[in-house]
Amino acid sequence: RVLSLELNKDRDVERIHGSGINTLDIEPVEGRYMLSGGSDGVIVLYDLENLSRKPSYTCKALFTVGRSHPDVHKFSVETVQWYPHDTGMFTSSSFDKTLKIWDTNTLQPADVFHFEGTVYSHHMSPVATKHCLIAVGTKSPKVQLCDLKSGSSSHILQGHRQEVLAVSWSPRHEYILATGSADGRVKLWDVRRASGCLSTLDQHNGEKSKASSEAASTAHNGRVNGLCYTNDGLHLLTIGTDDRMRLWNSSTGENTLVNYGQVCNESRKGLKFAISCGCNPEFAFVPHGSTIAVYTVFTGELITVLRGHYSTVNCCVFQPHFQELYSGSKDCNILAWIPAPRDSVPDDISEKSLPQQLLNPAYEDAWSSSDDEG
C-alpha cells in the first residue's frame, strides 16, 4: 500500500492556513484527529474521518486557534503534538519562546512554559507511564525538560555546544531521549541519571577519531536538524545539513552504515520527517524541496518521490491505520497521499471460469483459497 501512495483526487484537507504549514500530528488513539501549526502562529484541528460517506470528501477543520484568539502564538508554530494518551490535550511550541499546553475542549492554554530563546522542537514520550516530561529543544545548547505534573521546567540536560534543533523520546524505553544539535552531534540521554548523557553517536564508529585531533564524536558534518525512531525503538534515523541521513542502532549507538545517497536538506530549522509504522519493510518519508522522498529504512533505497506541492514541504505525518501520509508545505496546503485502489483481477483469469453475469454475487465466495491472492 505504501508503494502505491498517490495524491488523492477524492480527498481534500480544508484550506485554513494563510501561511506555510510547519508541523502536523495525528493523535495515536484513534488516528482520526490531526493538528497543524503554521508560520503565522495559527493552529488548526481537523477531523480526517469521512462523515459524509461519499467517495469524494473534504477533511473539515473542527477548530482553529486563529490570529484573533487571545492566546494564539505570536510567531511561527514549529511543533504540535497530541497528548499521547487521549485527545483532551495537545501541545504547541513556537518561535515566540513558549510551549503551550492546550485543553482541546475549551481551546484555552492550561499551562505555558517560557524559554530564553526560540523553541525549535518539543516531544512527549509516547510510552511513558512514570513521568510526564516534555523535552524541549531551543536556541540554548541546554535541553530543557518540562514537567507537566508540577508545571516546572527545572530539569536541564547539558552537553551540546550549540542550539538543539530536534528531540525525540524512545518509543521503547520511557526514560531514554535522543537530541540533535547544530553542533553536529546526536546525544542519547537517560533522564534519570545525574550526568544524563549515555552516549554521543559517532559516524565513524570510533575508528577515525583515534587519529584525528578532534576527538569528539559527531553524527553529521553539519547541523543535525531531524531525528526519528523506528516504531520498535531499536533504530534511530537522523538527518543533517551535510545532506546525509544515517541509521543508528539505538542500543549500541553504532552507525549501521546504510547508504541513502545524497539527501538534500536545506532547512534552516528542524526538519519534520516520518517513518512508517506496521509496514514491512519500514519506509522513511523525507521532505525534499517541494517533494517527499520515500526511502526504505534498512536498505537505503529511494523508492519513489511524491510530487504535488507548489513550494517547500516542511513536514509529513504517517497515519498507520490506513497507511496514509499527510504533508504540509510553505504553499499553505495539506495534501493527503492515499494508497491507490488495487486493480481487480480480469474475469478471464479468475478461478471461476463461469461468465460473471451468471454468478449471483450473493453466492460468490468472498474468501480466497489460493495463497497468492488476498
Closest C-alpha among 144, 137, 124 to residue 167: 137
Q: How many CA atoms lie within 13 A of 210 on its CB side?
A: 3
Distances (CA, A) of 318 to 153, 293, 332, 371: 30, 14, 19, 29
Any domain includes 28: yes
Any domain includes 255: yes
Any domain includes 106: yes
pLDDT in tens, the chain (374 residues): 888 999 988 899 999 999 999 999 999 999 999 999 999 999 999 999 998 889 899 999 999 999 999 999 999 999 999 999 999 999 999 999 999 999 999 999 999 999 999 999 999 999 999 999 999 999 999 999 999 988 887 789 999 999 999 999 999 999 999 999 999 999 999 999 877 799 999 999 988 655 554 557 899 999 999 999 999 999 999 999 999 999 999 999 999 999 999 998 877 788 999 999 988 899 999 999 999 999 999 999 999 999 999 999 999 999 999 999 999 999 999 999 999 887 655 555 544 444 444 444 444 444 544 455 44
Phi, psi dihedral angles at 361 (to 5 degrees):
-55, -25
The residues facing 145 across adjacent strands are 135, 155
Query: How is the beta sheet containing 21-26 ordered, strand by strand?
Result: 11-13, 57-65, 43-47, 33-38, 21-26
Boundaries of domain holding 223: 2-339
pLDDT of residue 9: 85
Any domain includes 213: yes
Any domain includes 364: no
Work out the number of other CB atoms within 10 angstroms of the CB of residue 199.
15
Any domain includes 99: yes
pLDDT of residue 154: 74
Tell me the C-alpha distance between 59 and 15, whole Å: 10
Q: What is the CATH number of the domain that holds 12?
A: 2.130.10.10
Domain count, the chain: 1
Task: State the sign of the Cα–Cα–Cα–Cα dihedral 210, 213, 214, 219.
Answer: negative
Closest C-alpha among 57, 63, 62 to residue 12: 57
Any domain includes 38: yes
Any domain includes 297: yes
